[in-house]
Amino acid sequence: MGLMHAVGTVEMIERHPRDSVSLALAHDAMTQDTVTPWYRYTAQFDGLRAGQINAAIHELDVPTSTEPIDALSTAMMFDAELYLAYLEVVSLLAQPDEILSRPGMREKIVEVASSNLAAEPRGPSRADLIRLLADHGQS
């Protein structure tokens, strides 16, 4: 995202080298159009993920989202096309709204995610790991 903003900034400076007001306005428009949607999506995703991690640490029910784009991280584990779509989003190649606007994509994400549970993490649970570490410390 930072590189995307830096490239956009250079382009705006090249287009408006002598007019600081036009430069400022063009830079703001570029930022709002190009970077802000990614920032908002990232903040939303990070907030959801932080809640999931916190719930797992405290052994609470993991919060879920009803947004199809959030279900993509589950659905992508079961469908190659959805995996590629997920990669487009996390690689900043396609915005979430672009992915969801593709014919049938929203419905497919919801269908695949709702019919498959997220994979259980491999390895010991947090409680098992704490117990193992405690047991190891006593021996």
Helices then strands, counting H and E runs in the chain, come out as 8, 0
Q: Is the pTM of this model over 0.85?
A: no
Predicted local distance difference test score (pLDDT) of residue 122:
73
Write the DSSP assignment of 94-137 as a string of letters. Answer: S-HHHHHTSTTHHHHHHHHHHTSPPPPPSS--HHHHHHHHHHHH
Predicted local distance difference test score (pLDDT) of residue 15:
97
Residue 44 backbone dihedrals phi, psi, to 5 degrees: -65, -50
For residue range 76-119, list pLDDT tens digits in order: 999 999 999 999 999 999 999 999 999 999 999 999 998 887 66
Amino acid making up residue 121? P
